[in-house]
Amino acid sequence: MAYLRKCYFKFYLIVFLILPASLLGEASNYNMPIGVTEVSKEIFDLHMLILWICVWIGVVVFGIMFWSLWKYRKSKGAVAADFDDHFWLEIGWTVVATLILVVIAIPSTKVMVTAYDDAEGEINIMVTGHQWKWHYKYLEDGISFFSNLSTDQEQINNQIPKGEFYLREVDEPLVIPINTRIRFLITGNDVIHSWWVPDFAVKQDAVPGFINTAWTNVPETGIYRGACTELCGIKHAFMPVVVRAVEQAEYDAWVAEKIVLAEQEKMLTSKEWTKAELVERGESFYLTNCVACHQVNGKGIPPVFPTLDGSQIVLNDTQRQIEILMEGVQGSAMAAFGSQYSEVDIAAVITYTRQAWSNGKNGDSAIVTPQDIVAYKNRTEL
Amino acid sequence: MSTVVETHDHGHHGPAKGLTRWLFTTNHKDIGTLYLWFSCLMLFIGGSMAMVIRAELFQPGLQIVQPEFFNQMTTNHGLIMVFGVIMPAFVGLANWMIPMQIGAPDMALPRLNNLSFWLLPMAFGILLSTLFMPEGGPNFGWTFYAPLSTTYAPSTVNFFIFSVHIMGISSILGSINIITTIFNMRAPGMTLMKMPLFVWSWLITAYLLIAVMPVLAGVVTMMLMDINFGTSFFNAGGGGDPVLFQHVFWFFGHPEVYIMILPAFGIASHIIETFSRKPIFGYTSMVYAMSSIAILSFVVWAHHMFTVGMPLAGELFFMYSTMLIAIPTGVKVFNWIATMYKGSISFETPMLFAIAFVALFTIGGFSGLMLAIVPADFQYHDTYFVVAHFHYVLVPGSLFGIIAGVYYWLPKWTGNMYDETLGQLHFWLTFVSVNLTFFPMHFVGLAGMPRRYPDYALQFADFNMIISVGSFLFGISQLLLVFIVIKSIRAGKKAKPEVWEGSGKLGLEWTLESPAPYHTFTVQPEVK
């Protein structure tokens, strides 16, 4: 008996103390994150309010139901009454239900008006969803870059152990200063994506051809992780959002550095590139941006993603390959990368694919230089 | 109620022999049976796809299938469960029960009835065949948002569009038949407000179907034009709007959600009154509640699109209108409980499923109310919280309603009682596993796991494993249902005309012999 009582005690402890406490816990694995912004905290409170209202309605309604089932069970000899209507009871519970809804609607409307404020931000960032990566462009400073998943394919394929931030890490996170009103202008490049950072309670669809807005003002430094939440194709689960919120001074330094890097990048186009340099740069570009579809071995996943290894175009048709890289292939996942990447990157990756795998010995193994891409651009723009 | 039942003239009015009986049948009972078996087959096909999904999600990482195939599984699982299981099962029950409940000899348009059914295997044959084509089947989610389903879709999308068109025609023809039957073939004396609630629920459902199926046909036709004929309905580059797709789709999609639950409301009402041995409480308010739900269902569609970038006024309008739905739905739950109150309740398998239906559907209703709150929806939208919500209303909601109905009417169909012990076992296995599967989805959703993900971050691993175990148990348990049904067809305790104690006064179907003769009510009964 004593043992049973102990078990009961443990049970009550779990149900009434530990469970609710952990439900309210900061980094909970089973409740909505409280987040760090004013809006996310208000939304969390709203969520808990409605949750508790639902729980109490549930306790009352299910309580009456199970009590009736128990009390009026036939096996105990219950005899059925014969009533089948009660006008005022029907009116009564309709009114009560309506009142509860009004109680919920008022705070919801208030939070909604705050969350949906689309006034200009101190910093305005254009967020563009691509299959399958995010592109960020700082409208004031002109900085722009892609943010790719940085988890190894081997981790995904279970060949090596998974890291702490498996599928929640990127090569280059979005950087924002704290205590600053940031406005996001969100759009899509190909299909609809959705940009979500739970800790900011910002989730906005990235619709191609339309620009949505969202805003945040983050009071604490830290790394905030989110995800794409609108089905956008094969790699939908593999385009996380990572935001690094930093002090203003650190942010300014980061901006200055990015501007210098961008200048250097521009200089590279006019530089004389050797084959080895192009192949090296092309390989790292390929491994970041192309492997998702065309695979490390260049074999692709036919028929959806064509093979590059042994492809007639990659072997012997430089012009066509440049054209595909620049303009994309209509109706396929191959986007027009010409507008997304530098001439150097496009040239490098073409050169790389023409040397890699069996292509180097079977084809013309031609070198494409950044100048060739510039020439292509000049030709097509005429 | 008094009836005249002809039962001895089977000479040349009985069923034909062999395969042609099923191919050419115009008998509402045969067609009902075909619908129900078709839906059962689809349940296992769609269910196997769910098993593939859950096997892949058992652990983080990609183990069993690649994301491309995973997306085909989620898409086809949804399409098959919605259009191939829940809807045909309800039509099957309607075919069997509506003529028997209103005292009609058959459906009003028997040949049309045959056509409505036989269109379905064609539609699903086409849909499933795409999975074996080189480019694979539809992979853009059952909601097939453009432009993923147009510009970026595999070319098999054209088969998918054709298949949706055929399903739509089948549903519209079936609905015309049901409405015509209900309006023209009720027994003398059965006024509209004396109709059994299942008939009422189907009358409302049939109108919803006729209203929205053409919208679905419209939206897939627009896709067809965009893909093949150079239009730009959903292509911003040509002056179109991808969000237009979502508006049109959900204008169909939301009433569709109620199409999949209203008949279950009707079934639950009958079962609860039967096993509480007390007439349904608030019949009139039940009818008004179902009608209100149906009407409101046309003005709430954009609550599926709260993050798509609507203006504030739009978001608030759809939040308020969605919250309103909780009122008639709540009224229905209160009425069911008031029916149980002071009854004389016994717990046969149909009643167990009906009680679970009321309780678990209400949980789905609560999460629905939470999802209606726009700011909170910014956090819930497109996460497993939504998956938990709609599975709670569709599995322990609609599917439990169907299973309850099958147990309830099975003795009337086969003439034999089902095995009660096995039925109870089936219920408890199903009840435990359904909650094991879908309840933890609330937690992973709130914690931030988006839906339609073939792979996930490590903090979701524990719950996903529990969910997968629950789903495997749920899947296996349903084989028991098939076994119980077949067993009851072959043998079992003979059922009386009034299968359930006291049901004789509850509906015309219980005045017929068990099994119900091939032709019933050739002379209409009189309802007083």
Model confidence band, residue A1 (pLDDT cutoffs 50, 70, 90) = very low
Per DSSP, what are the bridge partners of residue A137? A126, A144
pLDDT tens digit sequence for B140-169 = 999 999 999 998 999 999 999 999 999 999
**Interface contact A33-B285, CB threshold 8 A:** no
Q: Which residue of B has its CA nearest to A293?
A: B68
Catalytic residue positions of B? 77, 106, 142, 170-171, 254, 256, 258, 269, 303-304, 329, 332, 451
pLDDT above 60 (res A11): no
**CA of A255, closest CA in chain B: separation in Å?**
30
Answer for the pair A223, A173: CB distance below 8 angstroms, yes or no.
yes
Q: How confident is residue A3, by pLDDT bands cut at 50, 70 and 90? A: low
pLDDT tens-digit series, residues B370-427: 999 999 999 999 999 999 999 999 999 999 999 999 999 999 999 999 999 999 999 9
Q: Which chain B residues are within 8 Å of A168, Cβ to Cβ? A: 457
Identify the residue among B143, B300, B446 best suited for mutation to test binding to A, counting A beta carbons within 10 A and taking the highest: B446
A259: closest CA of chain B, how far (Å): 32
Can the peptide bond before residue B263 be classed as cis, meaning omega within 30 degrees of 0? no
Q: Average the pLDDT over B222-245 and give the result.
A: 94
For residue range B86-115, list pLDDT tens digits in order.
999 999 999 999 999 999 999 999 999 999
Residues of B in contact with A89 (CB under 8 A): 338
Q: How far is C-alpha A345 from the geometric centre of its chain's CA atoms?
A: 25
Å from A282 to nearest chain B CA?
26
Report the candidate in A357, A375, A354, A373 with the shortest Cα–Cα distance to residue A365. Answer: A354
Q: Which of A78, A84, A203 has its CB closest to that of B280?
A: A84
Confidence of residue A6 (pLDDT cuts 50, 70, 90): low
Return the pLDDT at B503.
85
Measured in angstroms, the CA of B314 and the nearest CA of chain A are apart by 12
| Percent of chain A at pLDDT exceeding 70 | 92
Chain B contact for A143, CB < 8 A? no
- Taking CB atoms and an 8 Å limit, are B346 and A74 in contact across chains? yes
Q: What is the pLDDT of residue A370?
A: 86
By C-alpha distance, the chain A residue nearest B441 is A30
- Interface check for A106 against chain B (CB to CB < 8 A): the answer is no
**For residue A307, is pLDDT > 60?**
yes
Choosing among B307, B383, B441, which should be mutated to test the A contact, i.e. which has the most A CBs within 10 A? B307
- CA-based end-to-end distance of chain A: 92
Strand ranges of the sheet holding A202-206, from the earlier edge strand across to the other edge:
A174-177, A241-246, A222-228, A193-197, A202-206
How far lies B504's CA from each of A97, A210, A288, B385, in Å?
36, 62, 72, 43
Measured CA to CA, the distance from residue B441 to residue B91 in angstroms comes to: 30
B10 confidence band (pLDDT: 50, 70, 90): very low
A232 and B463 within 8 Å at the Cβ level: the answer is no
DSSP assigned state of B492: -
Contact A203 B283 (CB under 8 A): no
What single DSSP character describes residue A159?
A: S
Give the model confidence (pLDDT) of B316-372 as tens digits.
999 999 999 999 999 999 999 999 999 999 999 999 999 999 999 999 999 999 999
Residues B216-243 have a mean pLDDT of 94
Q: Do B309 and A82 touch (CB under 8 A)?
A: no
Q: Tell me what pLDDT residue A276 has.
A: 87
Within chain A, residue ranges assigned H as helices are 2-12, 19-23, 38-71, 87-115, 153-156, 248-270, 275-289, 291-294, 312-316, 318-327, 343-355, 359-362, 370-381
Amino acid B302: pLDDT = 95
Find the closest chain B residue to A238 by CA distance. Answer: B455
Q: If you average pLDDT over every residue of chain A, what do you get? A: 87
Across A27-41, A262-276, B314-328, the highest mean pLDDT is recorded for B314-328
* Chain-chain contact of A72 with B276 (C-beta, under 8 angstroms): yes
CA distance B266 to chain A (A): 17
Q: Show which of residues 322-361 on chain A sit within 8 Å of chain B, judged by CB atoms.
A: 331-333
Q: In angstroms, what separates the C-alpha of B27 from chain A's closest C-alpha?
A: 36
Give A-chain residues touching B62 at CB under 8 angstroms.
156-158
> Letter for the amino acid at B114?
N
d(C-alpha A182, C-alpha A165), whole Å: 26
Give yes or no for A60 touching B (CB within 8 A).
no
B510 upstream amide cis, omega within 30 of 0 = no
Q: Which of B154, B339, B370 sits opposite A51 (nearest CB)?
A: B370
- What is the tens place of the pLDDT at every residue in B430-442? 999 999 999 999 9
Query: Does A162 sit within 8 Å of B341, measured CB to CB?
Result: no
Q: Which residues of B touch A149 (CB under 8 A)?
A: none
Percentage of residues in chain B having pLDDT higher than 70: 98
Q: How confident is the model at residue A262 (pLDDT cuts 50, 70, 90)?
A: confident
* pLDDT value, residue A19: 52
Element housing A215 (H / E): strand A212-216
Are the Cβ atoms of A43 and B62 closer than 8 angstroms?
no
> Would you call A90 an interface residue with chain B, using a CB distance cutoff of 8 Å?
yes
Q: Are A167 and B141 an interchain contact pair (Cβ–Cβ within 8 Å)? A: no
Q: For the segment B459-475, what is each residue's pLDDT rounded down to a tens digit?
A: 999 999 999 999 999 99
Instruction: Give the CA distances from residue A131 to residues A57, A146, B344, in Å, rounded to whole numbers and listed in that order.
Output: 44, 11, 60
* Cβ atoms within 10 Å, residue B276: 29
Q: Are the Cβ atoms of A82 and B316 closer than 8 angstroms?
A: no
- The mean pLDDT of chain B is 94
The amino acid present at A198, given as its one-letter code, is P
Overall average pLDDT of the A75-101 stretch: 90
Measured at the alpha carbon of residue B400, what is the angle toward residues B397 and B401, in degrees to the nearest 5? 80
Q: Which residue has the higher pLDDT, A343 or B489?
A: B489
> What is the predicted pLDDT for the residue at A17?
47
What pLDDT does A27 receive? 53
As a whole number, mean pLDDT of residues B249-277 equals 96
Q: A208: cis peptide before it, omega within 30°?
A: no
Alpha carbon B331 to its chain centroid, in Å, reads 21
B431's tokens: 């009840």
What local confidence, expressed as pLDDT, does residue B2 receive? 45
